[in-house]
Amino acid sequence: MIQTTNLHKRFGPHEALSGVNLNVGEGSAYALIGANGAGKTTTFRILMNILPADRGTATVLGADSRRLSPREFAQIGFVSESQSFPRSLTVAEYLAYLRPFYPRWDKDLETSIQHRFELPSARKIGNLSHGMRMKFALTCALPFHPKLLVLDEPLSGLDALVRDEFMATLLETAGEMTLLISSHELHEIEGLATNVGFLDRGKLLFEESLSDLTDRFREVRVVLDREAQPPHGAPEEWLNIQTMGNVVMFVDTRFSEAELAATTGTLVGNVRHIDVQPMSLRAIFKALALASRNN
């Protein structure tokens, strides 16, 4: 559905993207994660032909993103935190304006979503709250059954109830759509994502299935028989190594029970107990972000 090759973008002295190679497979729900300023929104805007890339290529639905035609746009839904709408139009007027552009527009689905979100047809868009405006954006993006739905920080600034309504509607109507989503609300999207890419300071450090990612990350606590010291020669796979009393703590990014036992025994010795815990997507992101900040 989406592929980028060696994507670069610079804003003055700031290199927003540096050689990004992204692959979003058909039918996947791809979560692009990264800290503020990592380049997620820039990537999305290049994909939607809102911004041009300085170098590299991007294809969306098999077409060059710089040459997306009405045929491609009729199959792409886009929802962004910073999305703008004509403030003077009412909800009903703008939906009526959109329908003719999409041959597959489903009026029944539009009505169902609008009713579920309690969107007032007669209210002007400029008078909608932030939460209502994001629900309105999703109402505009779903009725034509897009093949690709791009969601750029759709949950930012929403209260818990609105987030739940937004995600529930998305899950119920996603069907066979391909999803590309960025969000800081990682606990909300963990149940949705099938694949994850980690963008750090304009570079895509990795992309893989969520199941593979969570399989290889573990929080580790090694309890010793003596005062703990930072292990010398620790493998690169160990992130954010800390000591407290007789405990060594770190994140193992290539977890193997046998290798962990052997390596800790060699490096720290006198091991009394090793405690290993799985990690959520949010915990993995925090560990990667902290490690990146400390490098």
Shared-domain flag, residues 156 and 242: no
- For the chain, the domain total comes to 2
Shared-domain flag, residues 10 and 93: yes
Residue 73 belongs to some domain of the structure = yes
Q: Which of 156, 189, 213 is the last residue of a domain?
A: 213
Place of tokens 């400390």: 294
pLDDT per residue over 278-288, tens digit each?
999 999 999 99
Is a pLDDT exceeding 90 seen at residue 158?
no
- CATH classification of the domain holding 175: 3.40.50.300
CA proximity to 51, closest of 25, 16, 86? 16
Shared-domain flag, residues 64 and 184: yes
CA proximity to 111, closest of 91, 134, 86, 88? 91
Confidence category of residue 174, pLDDT binned at 50, 70, 90: confident
Residue 36 belongs to some domain of the structure = yes
Residue 285 belongs to some domain of the structure = no
Is a pLDDT exceeding 80 seen at residue 295?
no
pLDDT per residue over 191-233, tens digit each?
889 999 999 999 999 999 999 999 999 999 999 988 988 888 8
Residue 294 belongs to some domain of the structure = no
- Contact (CB, 8 A) for 255 and 206: no
Q: Which of 169, 198, 213 is the last residue of a domain?
A: 213
Shared-domain flag, residues 222 and 114: no
Shared-domain flag, residues 43 and 138: yes
pLDDT of residue 45: 95
Shared-domain flag, residues 154 and 259: no
pLDDT of residue 157: 80
Shared-domain flag, residues 10 and 33: yes
Residue 100 belongs to some domain of the structure = yes
Confidence category of residue 68, pLDDT binned at 50, 70, 90: very high
Q: What is the mean pLDDT of the chain?
A: 93
Confidence category of residue 176, pLDDT binned at 50, 70, 90: confident
pLDDT of residue 128: 95
- Domain span including residue 229: 218-278
Shared-domain flag, residues 84 and 70: yes
Confidence category of residue 48, pLDDT binned at 50, 70, 90: very high
Shared-domain flag, residues 123 and 51: yes
pLDDT of residue 285: 92
pLDDT of residue 161: 86
Supply φ then ψ for residue 114, to 5 degrees: -60, -40
pLDDT of residue 108: 95
pLDDT of residue 20: 97
- Contact (CB, 8 A) for 126 and 88: yes
Supply φ then ψ for residue 124, to 5 degrees: -70, 145
Shared-domain flag, residues 180 and 256: no
CA distance 178 to 26: 6
Residue 275's alpha-carbon distances to 212, 220, 230, 233, 260, in angstroms, are 21, 6, 17, 21, 11
Shared-domain flag, residues 203 and 250: no
Rounded mean pLDDT, 234-256 = 94
How large a percentage of the chain has pLDDT more than 90?
A: 77
Global confidence as pTM: 0.90
Q: List the 271-278 sheet strands across, edge first.
A: 238-244, 247-252, 218-224, 271-278
- 3-state per-residue secondary structure call for the chain: CEEEEEEEEEECCEEEEEEECCEECCCCEEEEECCCCCCHHHHHHHHCCCCCCCEEEEEECCEEHHHCCHHHHCCEEEEECCCCCCCCCEHHHHHHHHHHHCCCCCHHHHHHHHHHHCCCCCCEHHHCCHHHHHHHHHHHHCCCCCCEEEEECCCCCCCHHHHHHHHHHHHHHCCCCEEEEECCCHHHHCCCCCEEEEEECCEEEEEEEHHHHHHHCEEEEEEECCCCCCCCCCCCCEEEEEEECCEEEEEECCCCHHHHHHHHHHHCCCEEEEEEEECCHHHHHHHHHHHHHHC
Residue 116 belongs to some domain of the structure = yes
Q: Which of 190, 213, 236 is the last residue of a domain?
A: 213
Residue 178's alpha-carbon distances to 65, 67, 74, 159, in angstroms, are 17, 20, 14, 26
Higher pLDDT, 163 or 120: 120
Backbone φ/ψ region at 181: left (φ over 0), alpha (ψ -120 to 50), beta? beta
Can you read off the two tokens belonging to residue 97? 């304006």
Shared-domain flag, residues 121 and 267: no
CA proximity to 281, closest of 179, 202, 222, 198? 198
